[in-house]
């Protein structure tokens, strides 16, 4: 039997890992300068954390969670998103006591049992950032500006920022009533899920991917006509901060996002280059969530970015730069092999990438391997070289060779290689 990855799960292979590492380290660098600290919650949590935090009527909770039972029969779920876990940690460790404004980020895998397709996997990865403790518009603007700045830093510009306000629980209810009346009139044009959502959570209909539902909601009333004065002011202030930072955006009154906990500002960063899976980042304000999950009534705002989609965009853009070894050591004969073994490891300790053979091979085979690896230089040492005290150093690109003193060879090579790397 041959084992392969299960549907919707994939290996990130060595040739791709460099891009992933670059994204992760850039995220850490950029977020650090915005004052964010990393947190790493576990991947498995109590099911209720998500069903309560994300909302029963969402796709995630109603059909996408990987849930199992512990030995006492309690539900455990592989996290489908990070915010609920970060909130749990914020509450459990009373992080707010240390600092009334907590800025946290986390990077890692999420699990959702959805139909795998381009840009949509069952295990995927997100970069998440959250600000707790500030109800104002400036923290919303901050989180959006940080997301946009990060994307620009990694080489993705020209992405579309869509923003909306979902109002607060007060004004949203009056909008929900209005929307429900509108949807009831068009109920037969809606898919079965949306017919149910019309009753349970009409806002969710905006998030439906079925074409007829999309068409139906295109004529729906706009939440922006219903939000209360406070929410209006908050939203206008977010917009003015974005404007003054030179960040263009589109007002999109149909943007509701897939989770129930959002209030006021919501946003999505979209691309037109990945087909149907066009969202690379989603986020917004979630003022009731900390309290809902058993904590104090603290506001929050944040985003989640899908790493696979960022990688796909970067792959389209750029020729990957392939790293190759600085040196290959071709040793011939017992004595040379033993000496070379130590030289190789001494050089590696100085940060130089050195390759060599594990088993005894002829010169031709070793040169072939060095060529295949793309080594920049090859050091050739056999019995004759040991006797004369001079090895041969071949430049694979220029196809020329010179002699190097074997006495103090590690230092000699260090000097030569560092020089030629510039």
- Applying CB under 6 A, the residues found at the interface with ligand ATP are 81, 112, 114, 119-121, 124, 126, 257-258, 277, 279-282, 304, 306, 308-309
> Out of ligand ATP, Mg ion, none, which partner does residue 288 contact, by CB within 5 to 8 A per kind?
none
* Residue 306 C-beta: closest distance to ligand ATP, Å: 2
Residue 107 phi, psi (nearest 5): -130, 130
- Other CB atoms within 10 A of residue 207 CB: 20
- Where b means 16+ CB within 10 Å and e means fewer, 106-136 reads bbbebbbbeeeeebbbbbbbbbbbbbbbbee
27: closest CA among 157, 149, 158? 149
Q: Which is nearer to ligand ATP, 113 or 180 (CB)?
A: 113
- Other CB atoms within 10 A of residue 30 CB: 20
Q: Which is nearer to ligand ATP, 154 or 410 (CB)?
A: 154
Burial class (CB in 10 A: 0-12, 13-18, 19+), 57: middle
Q: Which is nearer to ligand ATP, 260 or 326 (CB)?
A: 260
> Out of ligand ATP, Mg ion, none, which partner does residue 280 contact, by CB within 5 to 8 A per kind?
ligand ATP
340: closest CA among 348, 59, 287, 147? 348
> Out of Mg ion, ligand ATP, none, which partner does residue 306 contact, by CB within 5 to 8 A per kind?
ligand ATP
Which CB contacts under 8 angstroms, 24+ apart, belong to 238-247?
238/137, 238/140, 238/141, 238/144, 238/163, 238/265, 239/163, 241/137, 241/138, 241/141, 241/145, 242/141, 242/144, 242/145, 242/161, 242/163, 245/141, 245/145, 247/144, 247/145, 247/148, 247/161
CA–CA dist 157, 212 (Å, integer)? 32
Residue with CB nearest Mg ion? 258
Residues that bind Mg ion (CB under 5 A): 258
CB of 305 closer than 8 Å to CB of 294: no
* Residue 309 C-beta: closest distance to ligand ATP, Å: 4
Q: Which is nearer to Mg ion, 278 or 412 (CB)?
A: 278
> Out of ligand ATP, Mg ion, none, which partner does residue 27 contact, by CB within 5 to 8 A per kind?
none
> Out of Mg ion, ligand ATP, none, which partner does residue 133 contact, by CB within 5 to 8 A per kind?
none
* Residue 415 C-beta: closest distance to ligand ATP, Å: 47
* Residue 56 C-beta: closest distance to ligand ATP, Å: 16
* Residue 283 C-beta: closest distance to ligand ATP, Å: 7
Q: Which is nearer to Mg ion, 112 or 376 (CB)?
A: 112
Q: Which is nearer to ligand ATP, 300 or 391 (CB)?
A: 300
> Out of ligand ATP, Mg ion, none, which partner does residue 366 contact, by CB within 5 to 8 A per kind?
none
> Out of ligand ATP, Mg ion, none, which partner does residue 81 contact, by CB within 5 to 8 A per kind?
ligand ATP
> Out of ligand ATP, Mg ion, none, which partner does residue 277 contact, by CB within 5 to 8 A per kind?
ligand ATP
> Out of ligand ATP, Mg ion, none, which partner does residue 102 contact, by CB within 5 to 8 A per kind?
none
CA distance between the termini of the chain: 50
**Which token pair is 387?**
């006797």
292: closest CA among 97, 48, 111? 48
* Residue 93 C-beta: closest distance to ligand ATP, Å: 25
> Out of ligand ATP, Mg ion, none, which partner does residue 120 contact, by CB within 5 to 8 A per kind?
ligand ATP
Distances (CA, A) of 185 to 111, 179, 182, 334: 37, 10, 5, 87
Q: Which is nearer to ligand ATP, 126 or 137 (CB)?
A: 126
Residue with CB nearest ligand ATP? 306
CB of 235 closer than 8 Å to CB of 255: no
Q: Which is nearer to ligand ATP, 222 or 278 (CB)?
A: 278
255: closest CA among 130, 166, 144, 141? 166
* Residue 263 C-beta: closest distance to ligand ATP, Å: 15
Q: Which is nearer to ligand ATP, 211 or 319 (CB)?
A: 211
Strand 102-111 relative to strand 123-132, pairing: antiparallel
CA–CA dist 39, 102 (Å, integer)? 11
CA–CA dist 300, 298 (Å, integer)? 7
**Which token pair is 354?**
């050195």
Q: Which is nearer to Mg ion, 124 or 175 (CB)?
A: 124
* Residue 209 C-beta: closest distance to Mg ion, Å: 9
């Amino acid at each position: 039997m041959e084992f392969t990855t299960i549907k919707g799960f994939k290996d990130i292979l060595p040739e791709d890992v460099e891009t992933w590492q670059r994204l992760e380290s850039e995220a850490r660098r950029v977020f650090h300068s915005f004052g964010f600290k990393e947190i790493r919650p576990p991947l498995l949590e109590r099911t209720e954390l998500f069903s309560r935090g994300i909302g029963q009527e969402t796709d995630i909770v109603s059909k996408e969670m990987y849930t199992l039972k512990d030995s006492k029969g309690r539900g455990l779920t592989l996290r489908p998103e990070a915010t609920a876990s970060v909130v749990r940690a914020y509450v459990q460790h009373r992080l707010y006591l240390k600092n009334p404004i907590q800025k946290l980020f986390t990077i890692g895998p999420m699990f959702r049992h959805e139909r795998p397709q381009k840009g949509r996997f069952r295990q995927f990865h997100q970069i998440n950032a959250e600000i707790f403790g500030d109800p104002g518009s400036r923290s919303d603007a901050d989180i959006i500006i940080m997301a946009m700045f990060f994307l620009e830093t990694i080489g993705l510009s020209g992405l579309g920022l869509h923003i909306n306000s979902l109002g607060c629980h007060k004004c949203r209810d009056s909008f929900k009533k209005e929307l429900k009346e509108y949807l009831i009139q068009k109920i037969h044009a809606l898919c079965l899920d949306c017919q149910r959502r019309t009753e349970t959570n009409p806002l969710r209909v905006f998030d439906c991917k079925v074409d007829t539902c999309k068409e139906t909601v295109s004529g729906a009333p706009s939440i922006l006509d219903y939000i209360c004065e406070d929410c209006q002011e908050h939203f206008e202030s977010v917009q003015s901060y974005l404007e003054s930072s030179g960040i263009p955006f589109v007002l999109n009154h149909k943007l509701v996002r897939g989770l129930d906990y959002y209030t006021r500002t919501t946003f999505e960063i979209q691309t037109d280059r990945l087909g149907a899976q066009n969202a690379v980042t989603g986020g917004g304000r979630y003022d009731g969530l900390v309290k809902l999950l058993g904590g104090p009534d603290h506001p929050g705002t944040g985003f989640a970015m899908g790493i696979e989609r960022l990688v796909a965009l970067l792959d389209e853009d750029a020729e990957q730069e392939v790293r190759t070894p600085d040196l290959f050591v071709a040793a011939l004969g017992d004595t040379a092999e033993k000496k070379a073994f130590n030289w190789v490891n001494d050089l590696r300790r100085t940060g130089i990438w050195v390759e060599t053979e594990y088993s005894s091979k002829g010169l031709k085979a070793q040169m072939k391997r060095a060529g295949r690896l793309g080594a920049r230089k090859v050091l050739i040492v056999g019995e004759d070289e040991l006797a004369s005290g001079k090895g041969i150093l071949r430049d694979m690109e220029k196809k020329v060779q010179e002699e190097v003193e074997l006495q103090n060879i590690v230092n000699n090579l260090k000097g030569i290689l560092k020089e030629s790397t510039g």
